[in-house]
Chain A
Amino acid sequence: MTESPSPSPSRLWRPAAQRNLRNQWANLSSYKHKWLTLSSSARSHATSLVNSSLNQRFVNARDLGVLSDLPGIIKKASFKLSKQQELHRSKLLASYRSMVAIVNQMMTIGASMRCFPKGPDNSSMLQFSNSSVDATDAGDGGGVPPFTFWSISSFEKLAEELIQMFTMELNLKRLLVIHFISMSSEDVQHNIELSWMDELYIGEFDDLRKCNLYSIEACTPLLPKVKGRNTDKLKLHTENRLDADVLQVYLTTWLSDVNIDKYRLDEIFTSVGEEMNVTLV
């Protein structure tokens, strides 16, 4: 019997699957770090925004005594603070936007853990893909573990658990972003109205759809929630927009990352790393 000149697809699958998995999980780890870093800088922008807004209210309400003889001093101070707020607001939005983009990338990675053959005579492996040309090939090597113990689905389930944490946390932070950017202590006419259903930047709903955070039927982003619980209705409170205590609670909630279980996150990356024989940070 003569040996066929090109190796069979199943022999090609295993090394390609290993390479792909190592790549994807390394990327996942790097995105995790980026998200956490962005979240942290977003929080500083939010803090600056909060402080600036509270200061402005203070300046406007204050009796400056002898200083009030100086022409326009309150107006000037207020104007400067408004400019500052503009800056912090746009930085906060930019950070939020980047965080959405990262979750989108994570979703793509989560859907790219399978390998399909391509090329003439199925002679080489496509590294990753969301779908197969050939409906009979599931891209998972028929359930065979690419490394030692776990099948491709096990890797996919862990990725899904991880990505879900970031997705849910992103949605919760969305609520906080809405509140932070709509603070204003100037004339009531300039106050931006609070609504869960308005896009925070052009194209946001497309991005949220990719993260499964947007309901097309209801034409609204899904309601933010805490893992394991359900949010029935969202009522946005506008009466205490500049209540320092409430703002402090919002900032603490941001800092807490309630939907991200850091221990479980480390556990997932450690065990995946062990299975793949690499070190994932």
Chain B
Amino acid sequence: METMIKKYQQKFKKVKEHTQTWDELQSLLLSHFRNASSIIQRLQLIQDSKKYGSLKSVDGIEAAVLAKQMDSLQNILFSMDKTLEEFRFIVISLEKIAHDGRQLVRGGGSVQPKIGKLQQRIGIKPSLSDCLEGLVQLHDMHQSEYLLKSSVVSALPTITLGPSESDLEALQQLLVDQPNIPKDEVQFIYDVIFAEDIC
């Protein structure tokens, strides 16, 4: 039983590594989003020929500036898609870890052990069901968050057609907040799993 708990703790350490990568990807995604936002907010302005001042004399300048800005925007959107792929990869890894966790209690077989055994606690160590639930919860949180990020990013091309500063701010806030991954709940899970390390 103790060795099983240790194995689970190893799995949670692996999960932590993945979530650290997640945090790095999060910074990257936010940076891309801010850049995309700046461009989108300027789009209407740069299509207004009255706002070109002395540049009006320079034939073809409007079209050239617009073309360059659209090209930049395309590149940023492409990078965001690539970053989303990396998030998806983490979700898949977390799913695999949770799956392996379930297999661990069955001893590789298909027999579900008794509830009593699963909920047994020795001292402050976590129960087996604490471990299982923790892994599943962490996976579910990140999967929901990935789906949210995905829909925010796919909303961008539509927003480009009718940009609104408040819409963009709202979307950015959603990305920043990560509502599906409440920090205190995550911390609570780790506190239960690694209780003996804390005391």
Minimum CB–CB distance for B64 against chain A, Å? 4
- Are A179 and B54 neighbours in the complex by a CB distance under 8 Å? yes
Give me 7 other A-B pairs in contact (C-beta within 8 A), A223-B57, A237-B56 excluded: A194-B54, A225-B58, A228-B60, A231-B58, A232-B59, A249-B51, A252-B45
Would B57 and A234 count as touching, CB distance under 8 A?
Answer: yes
Interface, chain A (partner B; CB < 8 A): 172, 175, 179, 194, 223-226, 228-237, 240, 243, 245-246, 248-250, 252-253, 256-258
The distance in angstroms between the C-alpha atoms of A225 and B64, with both chains bound, is 11
Q: Mark B45-62, 1 if CB is under 8 A from A, else 0.
A: 110100111111111110
User: Can you show 16 pairs from A to B with CB atoms below 8 A apart?
Assistant: A172-B58, A232-B59, A233-B57, A234-B58, A235-B56, A236-B54, A240-B53, A249-B45, A249-B53, A250-B55, A252-B45, A252-B69, A253-B61, A253-B65, A257-B68, A258-B65
Q: How far is the CB of A234 from chain B (nearest CB, A)?
A: 5
List B contacts of A249 (CB < 8 A).
Answer: 45-46, 51-53, 55, 65
Which of B42, B56, B59, B68 lies in contact with A258, CB distance below 8 A?
B68
**Cα distance A237–B53 in the bound complex, in angstroms:** 6
Q: Which residues of chain B are near A258, meaning CB under 8 Å?
A: 61, 64-65, 68
In the assembled complex, the Cα of A257 lies from the Cα of B71 at a distance in Å of 12
Q: Which residues of A contact B69 (CB under 8 A)?
A: 252, 256
Contact between A226 and B64 (Cβ–Cβ < 8 Å)? yes
* In contact, A231 and B59 (Cβ under 8 angstroms): yes
- Inter-subunit contact B54/A245 (CB<8 Å): no
Among A194, A226, A246, A256, the residue within 8 A (CB) of B58 is A226
Give the number of A-B contacts (CB < 8 Å).
76
Neighbouring B residues of A224 by C-beta, 8 Å: 58
Bound-state CA distance A235–B56 (Å) is: 8
Q: Which of B42, B56, B68 contacts A248 (CB 8 A)?
A: B42
Q: Are A256 and B53 in contact (CB under 8 A)?
A: no
Query: Does A226 lie within 8 Å of B59, measured CB to CB?
Result: yes
User: Cβ of A253: which chain B residues have Cβ within 8 Å of it?
Assistant: 55, 61, 65
Kindly report which residue of chain A lies nearest to residue B72, judged by CB atoms: A256
- CB–CB B51/A230 < 8 A: no
Judging by beta carbons under 8 Å apart, are B45 and A234 in contact? Answer: no
Contact B54 A235 (CB under 8 A): yes
Whole-angstrom distance between the Cβ of B189 and the nearest chain A Cβ: 44
Minimum CB–CB distance for A61 against chain B, Å? 22
Task: List the B side residues contacting A246 at CB < 8 Å.
Answer: 51-53
Q: Quick check: A226 and B53 within 8 Å, CB to CB?
A: no
